[in-house]
Structure 1
Amino acid sequence: MTIAIVGAGLGGLALARVLHVHGLESVVYEREASRDARGQGGMLDIHSGQRALREAGLMDGFHAIARGAGQDMRLLEPDGTLLLQEDTPDDAPLLRPEVDRADLRDLLLDSLPDGTVRWGHAVTSAGDGSLHFADGGSAPYGLLVGADGANSRVRPLLTDARPTHTGHDVVELCISDIDRRHPELAAMVGRGTYWVMGDGLSLAAQRNGDGRVRVGVSFYNTREDWFATSGIPWDDAAAARKRLIELLPGWDARFVALIAASDDTVVSRSITTLPAGLTWPSAPDVTLVGDAAHLMPPVGEGANMALLDGALLGLALAAHPLDFPAAVREYEREMFERTSAAARMSGRMQEMLSSPGAAEKLLAFFQPG
């Protein structure tokens, strides 16, 4: 009765780890060739997901990689007006620490027995107790868990729902070794997140634990073809930076300096979501965790929900090791309620960011009353 997990992201690995803690075996199939095959993105704000790490027995390791200073935040308007500055005391509790996604993934990977993750296994189809891979191979399963993200190959076994564009597009940049190369910009950004919020667009710069600052320029209320019509030349980094600066007319020179100083990797990312409150009739041998189940706007909940999904499904399976259908039903009842609330809250935050007067609304959110 093999438990097969498709996808070695945070949700799938948290599930495999909690199962291992409770003496249950699983196999994780990952399409990437190795753990270092591609970058894992930037920092994550881990709050409710800490429960999953406790259930996984990994809190000491988490505290070793978490950055309390990453909770610092500065909020500004495009003309340079500082609206909010929050600096975290060194002895503050780690309620919402930042952690590099790659470091957190490595913590989970290193906690699993050798051979749990099968690299280079791209799933092409699944069903009737069998997984099929791009290399022509196959594998049986007793329970199949789709932890394979927004474009899940497992999700169609349960629902016809597909991700849709939210009207939010992001251009991602990076400034490597910023303290040495651009100390004045490093001091401006500080230790955490530096957020400039205009009407219909924003710029967020975030300190990473490896000396980088990741910069995201967000455009709201866009059409699905915005990247094609924006005039950004994606094959010419210098020209792309120039065009991005043109799209921020009147912005303070300090902010556009972050774009000008960025490296030659310019990445476009369209933000898509699944319907908030998505459910499906429970199946006895298939379920979903993470973005495969409840893709939501990226406002700090997705990674936490994925970690909790994996841990709570693992606990349900440990409580019903001979009854996968009962474990799945128990997990999905809780997951649907929890993640529906998180998705709706994330949707409201997304609406706030895309509305006129977003900076003032965001300030009121962080400083209610």
Structure 2
Amino acid sequence: MPLFRPRIAIVGGGPSGLALGQLLHQRGIRATIYELRAKSTQEELAKPSGMLDLHEESGLTAIRECGLWNGFQAAMGDCSESMRVITPDGAVLHTDEGELAFRPEIARNALTNLLIQNVPSDIIKWNHKITTVRSNRNATTGATEITLDLGANGAAAYDFVVGADGAWSRIRKLLSDAEPFYSGAQYVTATVRHVSTKYPHLVELSGSGTLCALGGGNAIMTQRGPQDSIQVYAAVSTPHEHWAAAAGLEGKTAAEVKTTLLGNERLFRKWASALQDLLAAACDEETKDNPGCEADIKPYYMLPVGHRWEYRTGATLVGDAAHLMTPWAGEGVNLALWDSLDLAHVLAAIPEAADAAAWQAALEPRMREFEEAMLVRAQVKAEETVRNKDMFLSENGAQAMADFFKVYEDMAAAGSPPQGQ
């Protein structure tokens, strides 16, 4: 009798889905990855993107197990681990050179490219949109089948489906009624490339790593990135989910949005001239690089802290699909990679089975354990993220953040260096 091989699908080709595909491939387990977007070109992947700091217990461990450590190290270097915290009027309250923790930065595009280059190309199906997902019991085999409706690409049935499809996951609808809700904060993102040549004074201001200017419930944050860039984030606290529309910013370029950001006293009108110059240059350069394009304004969403679901045969979630949170603790991609690493271990440990029903029965207790551990740690990180957001986007956010780092400095001085920041 031929050996039974389960049909496994991963919905979502972001870092968690790609890492899971790679980890399963290493273990001789074939999975099909479905991704809504087209495959990015090398030119697109070389563009500046958000920086991700990977953590030892999660993201870095997954990178090593994927066999990508050398490639990861080669892709680092655009952004150092240094940190600078200043007030809206420009007073520096904290600086460090990354000595408080080892959390190397890598551009999101660079991480994606690294994974794409190593995952077998024949297992990724680009331009595949999941329209609906159905679960049913096969009357003949007794096994649960998850059917993915793929629109023009037909349909496909699987013994196990992993939802790695992000905030608005379709796979999550199989398991949970929870929907993401607005977190109370929005980001306006703009990028200055070749900054050392064009704006050397901005390099001096932002440093080689991360700058956080916080106060009045808002923030201007920067990170260095590929192509000698500075990526600038203007964080705005507002209870209005559709703030961009209410402020008349929809459809406007970053250069046009700049007028509102710098002209409103509740935003950045009273901030130090150097910080205003930084934000203005980023908005202007973003529009020069992408003429006519709408400004990148995004409301941030999250799932309820402690989001859970009852185990269901044939499906699970990882990453944002399982535990979407805001970026204020830098945990999103790290948890996603950790989820994929643990899930790969679970799937590789299932003993040989005669058929799908037997395989699913053997999988169930291990999956219950996996999901419990994943959701417990996600709750802890989500709670941390909420605390950080409330602290950093407070009236005196810079002082709160400086005090936060002072705790770590005192611990390090006492000979008890923290594991992260």
What TM-score do you get using the length of structure 1 for normalisation?
Answer: 0.94
Q: Give the residue type in structure 1 aligned to 2:365.
A: A
User: In the alignment, what sits opposite 2:345?
Assistant: 315
Q: For residues 14-72 of structure 1, what are the alpha-carbon distances to aligned partners after superposition, in whole Å with 9 as ceiling and x for unaligned? A: 11111111111111000111134787841001113111112222222222212385211
Give 1:330 deviation, angstroms: 2.7
1:273-352 aligned at under 5 Å gives the runs 273-299=302-328, 300-320=330-350, 322=359, 323-352=362-391
Q: Kindly indicate whether the alpha-carbon contact (under 8 Å) linking 1:208 and 1:214 is maintained by their aligned counterparts in 2.
A: yes
1:229-308 aligned at under 5 Å gives the runs 229-232=246-249, 234-247=251-264, 248-262=268-282, 263-264=286-287, 266-299=295-328, 300-308=330-338
Runs of 4+ in structure 1 off by over 4 angstroms are 37-40
- Choose from 88, 92, 114 the match for 1:82: 92
Give 1:221 deviation, angstroms: 3.7
CA RMSD after TM alignment: 1.9
Give 1:233 deviation, angstroms: 5.7
- Choose from 11, 15, 21 the match for 1:16: 21
Q: Kindly indicate whether the alpha-carbon contact (under 8 Å) linking 1:232 and 1:244 is maintained by their aligned counterparts in 2.
A: no
User: In the alignment, what sits opposite 1:46?
Assistant: 54
Q: For residues 64-113 of structure 1, what are the alpha-carbon distances to aligned partners after superposition, in whole Å with 9 as ceiling and x for unaligned? A: 2123852111111111101111124xxx7981011011111111111112
Q: For residues 92-144 of structure 1, what are the alpha-carbon distances to aligned partners after superposition, in whole Å with 9 as ceiling and x for unaligned? A: 79810110111111111111122111111011111222111132411121101
Greater shift in the superposed pair: 238-247 or 330-339? 238-247
Please give the alpha-carbon distance, in whole angstroms, between the structure 2 residues aligned to 1:70 and 1:339: 27
Q: Kindly indicate whether the alpha-carbon contact (under 8 Å) linking 1:13 and 1:310 is maintained by their aligned counterparts in 2.
A: no
Please give the alpha-carbon distance, in whole angstroms, between the structure 1 residues aligned to 2:236 and 2:319: 25
User: In the alignment, what sits opposite 2:140?
Assistant: none
Q: Give the residue type in structure 2 aligned to 1:138.
A: A
Q: Kindly indicate whether the alpha-carbon contact (under 8 Å) linking 2:50 and 2:231 is maintained by their aligned counterparts in 1.
A: yes
What TM-score do you get using the length of structure 2 for normalisation?
Answer: 0.83
Q: In structure 1, the residue corresponding to 2:80 is in which secondary structure?
A: helix
User: In the alignment, what sits opposite 1:125?
Assistant: 132
Please give the alpha-carbon distance, in whole angstroms, between the structure 2 residues aligned to 1:359 and 1:260: 21
Larger radius of gyration: 2
Distance 1:184 1:294, change over 3 A: same
Please give the alpha-carbon distance, in whole angstroms, between the structure 2 residues aligned to 1:210 and 1:315: 37
Q: Kindly indicate whether the alpha-carbon contact (under 8 Å) linking 1:68 and 1:97 is maintained by their aligned counterparts in 2.
A: no
Residue 224 (1) aligns with residue 253 (2): no
Q: In structure 2, the residue corresponding to 1:85 is in which secondary structure?
A: strand
User: In the alignment, what sits opposite 1:56?
Assistant: 66
What fraction of aligned residue pairs are identical, expressed as a percent?
Answer: 35
Q: Kindly indicate whether the alpha-carbon contact (under 8 Å) linking 2:331 and 2:381 is maintained by their aligned counterparts in 1.
A: yes
Please give the alpha-carbon distance, in whole angstroms, between the structure 2 residues aligned to 1:331 and 1:224: 34
Please give the alpha-carbon distance, in whole angstroms, between the structure 2 residues aligned to 1:307 and 1:267: 26
Gaps in structure 1 of 5+ consecutive residues: none
